[in-house]
Amino acid sequence: TREIRLASRPKGWPEPADFDLAETDLPEPAEGQVLVRNLFMSVDPYMRGRMNDVKSYVPPYRLGEPLEGGAVGEVVDSRAPGLAKGDVVLHNHGWREHALLDARAVRKVPDVPGVSPSAYLGVLGMPGLTAYAGLLDVAGFKDGDAVFVSGAAGAVGSLVGQIARLKGASRVIGSAGSAAKVAFLTERLGFDAAFDYRDAPVAEQLAAAAPDGIDVYFDNVGADHLEAAIGALRPHGRVALCGAIAVYNRADPQPGPRNLSLAIGRRLTLRGFIVGDHYSRMPAMVDEVGAWLREGRIVYQETVADGLDNAPAAFIGMLRGENVGKMIVRL
């Protein structure tokens, strides 16, 4: 079987040479373990941070060891009570074709007719919960709020905008990195307005898209997007600081928003959060978002790469914006 190992720590943008595709023996489960054949694995922005040797909310990946991350697979051998051959499970040993896991490290996932099990890596999984808890709990979204989300055509952003619309936002605005993504937002996802942040300064485009300002900003990007949003927020506006993908591959520290002092007079709240602290909301998210999915009221889009050998390219491509919706690798 094969796995992808971290060959070197990327400096700035990751490169294919930072990854090693290695052959390894197929392990056998011991008592209490299962062997899983992975069907899908996730590539996520946070993995870029784990490639650096710095202390963070998740420990760094180790050089020469297989990478880790969300994956869905099928049990092919089990010595664990309650888990049988053929069960589909969610776990954190992605980046490999087979995973040997203790029973407590896997979660059996229900089969939803018409929904690919890869949805547990996207809309019904970590990114879905990030969107749901970030918008509703962290930003304190209320009926009638005008919402701006950056990275709006990605896994998290595409759900933030749709949840806001379904929950009664007065206006939903998104930004993304291409004309095709902008069309996807307004034509498929029901955003009221969207713009390509590469076309003109974000502050100008946001002011045009939200002439009356915004109440909530869901930040996936940081940098100029955050500054533009602070400029557009109305009194008592709220920001969920979810990600800052514009700076993840920058080697030097980047300056903060130049207009931060506006937060004082406008009584703004800027709150960072980590989805790992919000797992108690998973059942509510799966109930509510799962129902919208079954009713066809929410669009779940994936970009799928094929084969473990293409996982590094899928990861780098996701950081560069090659995905619409959730980037998934099918193994």
Residues of the shown chain interacting with ligand NDP in the complex, contacts defined by CB under 6 A: 44-46, 127, 130, 151, 153-157, 176-178, 181, 197, 220-221, 242-243, 245-246, 273-275, 318-319, 321, 323, 327
Closer by beta carbon to ligand NDP, 154 or else 290: 154
Could you tell me the CA-to-CA distances from 27 to 13, 31, 67, 272 in Å, in that order?
34, 13, 17, 40
Contact 94, 67 (CB under 8 A): yes
- Which helix (H) or strand (E) segment holds residue 37: the answer is strand 33-42
Closer by beta carbon to ligand NDP, 92 or else 261: 92
Shortest Cβ distance from residue 319 to ligand NDP (Å)? 6
Contact 61, 49 (CB under 8 A): no
Shortest Cβ distance from residue 85 to ligand NDP (Å)? 32
Shortest Cβ distance from residue 227 to ligand NDP (Å)? 13
- Which helix (H) or strand (E) segment holds residue 287: the answer is helix 282-294
- The rounded distance, in Å, linking the Cα atoms of 275 and 36 is 26
Closer by beta carbon to ligand NDP, 33 or else 175: 175
Give the list of residues 6+ apart from residue 184 with CB closer than 8 angstroms, or none.
153, 176, 301, 324
Residues constituting the chain? 331
Contact 264, 236 (CB under 8 A): no
Which residue type, as a one-letter code, is found at position 39? Answer: L
Closer by beta carbon to ligand NDP, 45 or else 73: 45
Buried b (16+ CB within 10 A) or exposed e, 61-82: beeeebbbbbbbbebebbebee
Shortest Cβ distance from residue 41 to ligand NDP (Å)? 14
Shortest Cβ distance from residue 173 to ligand NDP (Å)? 14
Shortest Cβ distance from residue 14 to ligand NDP (Å)? 13
Closer by beta carbon to ligand NDP, 35 or else 210: 210
State the maximum Cα–Cα separation within the chain, in Å, rounded to a whole number.
63
Q: At what angle do helices 282-294 and 126-133 cross, to 10 degrees?
A: 100
Closer by beta carbon to ligand NDP, 151 or else 231: 151
Shortest Cβ distance from residue 207 to ligand NDP (Å)? 18
Shortest Cβ distance from residue 310 to ligand NDP (Å)? 17
Contact 125, 282 (CB under 8 A): no
Closer by beta carbon to ligand NDP, 161 or else 231: 161
Closer by beta carbon to ligand NDP, 123 or else 233: 123
